[in-house]
Every structure is written in C-alpha cells, then in structure tokens.
Amino acid sequence: MPDFDTLLENWEGESLVARRDEVGRAWIFIAIHSSRLGPAAGGTRMKSYPGPTAALHDALRLSEGMTYKFAAPNLPFGGAKAVIAVPSDLDPADRPGLLRRYGELVTQLGGRFLTGPDVGTTPEDMDIISETASSFVFCRTPGAGGAGDPGPFTALGVLAGIEAACEHVFGSPELADRRLVVQGVGDVGGALLDLLEAKGADVVFTEIDADLISRYRDERGFAFVAPEEVFAVEGDVFVPCALGGVLNAETIDRLRCRIVAGSANNQLAEPSDAERLRAAGVLYAPDFVINVGGAMAMPAMETMGWTADHAREQVRNYVRKTLLAIFNEAERFGSSTAAAAVAMAEHNLAAAGDDRR
C-alpha cells in the first residue's frame, strides 16, 4: 500500500473532498479526477477498509478509471468516484443517516460530481441519497423516478465483450461449450450467469458471500470452486466480476484461460500487469471498456431519453466494436490492449482541449 504522500503525488486528478463522519464513524472521500468532458460522474462505493489510506487509494484509482470509461466512447462526463469507508460493525440503523449526510456533501459540490451505485450500494440507497442530493443521483429505483439497477446493463456489455474476445482468439463468438470461470456473482456477475447460461456456456464460479454461493450453486446448479482456486481453473475465459487488483504477477502465472474479460474495475494490480498478460499470451479486455454498460445506459436513459432497448443496443455495439478495434490495434503496434484502450481515451480527452476545468 503506497503511503499518503505517494498516493497524492501520483494522482493526476483535479480535486479531492475528504469528510469525516463522526456519527457513522466513517470517512467519505470524493475524488474528482477530470471534468474535461463534462461534470464528473462515478459510483458510490461503501465498504470497510483496513484504514483510511486504503480507502483513499481505492477512490483515487477508481476515479481515474471513470475518466477513461467515459472518455473512450466520448460520453459527456468526467470521471470521479466516491468511497464511504465504514466500520465493519456499522449499525444498519446508522446507515440511512450516513447516506443522507453524504447526499448533503454531494449537494455542496453543486453538480460538479454526479453519482450512482457501486460495490456496497443499491438503487434503494440512491433513493435515500437523493433525499438530500436530488438531481445529482443516477439509478434511483423506478418507483422513485430512476432507471434502477445498472447491473444487467453492465452484464450485457460484458457478454458482448466476452463474445468479441472469443471471436478474436478462437475465430467464433459462440459460447456453447466454452468454459467460463466467473469470479464474483454480485450485481453484475449474477446477472451475467443468467446470460451465459442462456448461451449454453459451461460456467464455473467462485464467491465469498454465503447467501450468493447457496443461490447459484445449490438453487441454480452452477459449478462452484473455492475462491483461492479460481485462478488455476482450466478454461477459456477468466471473468473477474469482484473487486479490483486481482491480476498480478502471481495470479497471471497461474491463469489457465486464454482470455480475461470481466466487469471489475481496476483489474490490474499495477499497469505493468498488462504487459505481463500479453507476454503470457492472454488476451485482456480492458476493464473500463468492457464494463461501461451501466455508466453508459443509466445517465442516458435518465437524462437523454434513451429507451432501455436503445441503451442495450448501444452498449452491445459499443463494447463489441471498440474491443475488436483495440485487439487489432494492440496487435498491429505490438502494445498491450490496456495501452491501446488508454490511448483511445487520451485521444478523446486531448481533442476536448487542455483546460481541465
């Protein structure tokens, strides 16, 4: 874990808001990485961390990923992320108040930061946040006037990305009889299992939450492996849909899949892991391209009048087309796919001008 000085020195973002919430015993960090393409948007992640520095590290890295996520398709948003670092024994009764106080902080930013759900938050939480941050919140429940759960839209894009990667590597996007190894069956991974099942894929999954394990293994009959074994499962596609940083020297060495294509943000532990994957002959679908579904669909449905059908079509087409272009570019220039994706995003940011504000 980098120390506080190193974290701030290496972050190229615009502003960082830190708020200590005494009642909820929480730290809130809102990292606004870039507003060059529009108001900075990003999810609100709520979980416990070993300490505030770890939470800050997550917020800063995730905010940069959001800048690239919106910039690659040239969507009119900048990148940001909020982390609410809560104690592991947070009393559920203290949660709504904490979310409302967080909403007040979002309102103080006056529209420079827009948010939606992420790990640890739901559309129901967005309803609560919007009590104090009304128009700055995406993905409220449909009953409260929002577009609801982004997970299925993200999952749809991930499916399109997996198919594109298979097309590139195996010459066919068909998933029947391909073996997919899914790490994490939360909001996105769970929705993805349904889609993969419908495609006739051979799915193996891992998960740490007991309720989710029982739902997908015992009730639905999916094959389960223990979390520590997931990297070594023999298969075609490794699909990381849990937390970030899972691809590092050690795990890449154990991978027995030709493709990595999943929804988690910040899958690479460090940038050089992109080269490591390339050297190992593994095709990596850059996270911020393949997982854009929710971030592309929900704001557009809520503010630009897209229908759900139109959003699904846009997400599928964008992910497929963009990944195929990135895979070809990377091959042509002998670079990693991650470098090709960042170059595409940087190109759009540069075209928008030098003034970040």
Question: Would you say 45 and 70 are in contact if contact means Cβ atoms under 8 Å apart?
Answer: no
Is 188 a binder of ligand PHE (CB under 6 A)? no
**Residue 56 per-residue DSSP state:** H
Beta carbon nearer to ligand PHE, 245 or 294: 294
Instruction: Give the shortest CB-63-to-ligand PHE separation in angstroms.
Output: 10
Instruction: Give the shortest CB-303-to-ligand PHE separation in angstroms.
Output: 11
Beta carbon nearer to ligand PHE, 118 or 273: 118
Handedness of CA 50, 42, 312, 168 (dihedral sign): negative
Q: Indicate which single residue of 39, 116, 190, 240 sits in contact with ligand PHE (rule: CB under 6 A).
A: 116
Angle at alpha carbon of residue 122, lines to 40 and 91, rounded to 5°: 110
First to last CA, the chain: 30
Q: Give the strand pairing for 223-224 and 237-240.
A: unpaired
Beta carbon nearer to ligand PHE, 43 or 286: 43
Q: Return the SS3 of 221.
A: coil
Question: Would you say 326 and 286 are in contact if contact means Cβ atoms under 8 Å apart?
Answer: yes
Q: Return the SS3 of 40.
A: strand
Q: Footprint of ligand PHE on residues 36-75 (CB under 6 A)?
A: 41-43, 69
The residue range among 35-43, 101-109, 191-199, 337-345 that interacts with ligand PHE, by the rule CB under 6 A, is 35-43
DSSP per residue, 107-146: HHTTTSEEEEE-TT--HHHHHHHHHHHGGGB----GGGTS
Is 123 a binder of ligand PHE (CB under 6 A)? no
Instruction: Give the shortest CB-310-to-ligand PHE separation in angstroms.
Output: 17
Instruction: Verify whether residue 81 is a known catalytic residue.
Output: yes
Question: Would you say 55 and 83 are in contact if contact means Cβ atoms under 8 Å apart?
Answer: yes
CA distances for 322 relative to 38, 76, 103, 104, 337, angstroms: 22, 18, 35, 38, 11
Q: Footprint of ligand PHE on residues 144-163 (CB under 6 A)?
A: 150
Kindly determine how many residues on this chain lie close enough to bind ligand PHE according to the rule CB under 6 A: 15
The residue range among 96-104, 125-133, 293-301, 318-326 that interacts with ligand PHE, by the rule CB under 6 A, is 293-301
Q: Indicate which single residue of 14, 21, 64, 118 sits in contact with ligand PHE (rule: CB under 6 A).
A: 118
Instruction: Give the shortest CB-319-to-ligand PHE separation in angstroms.
Output: 13
Is 32 a binder of ligand PHE (CB under 6 A)? no
Q: Which among 69, 81, 199, 321 is annotated as catalytic?
A: 81
Is 14 a binder of ligand PHE (CB under 6 A)? no
Instruction: Give the shortest CB-302-to-ligand PHE separation in angstroms.
Output: 9
Instruction: Give the shortest CB-158-to-ligand PHE separation in angstroms.
Output: 12
Q: Burial code of 272-301, b = ≥16 C-beta within 10 A, e = fewer?
A: ebbebbbeeebbbbbbbbbbbbbbbbbbbb
Binding site for ligand PHE (CB under 6 A): 41-43, 69, 116-118, 138-139, 150, 265, 294-295, 298-299
Which residues belong to the active site? 81
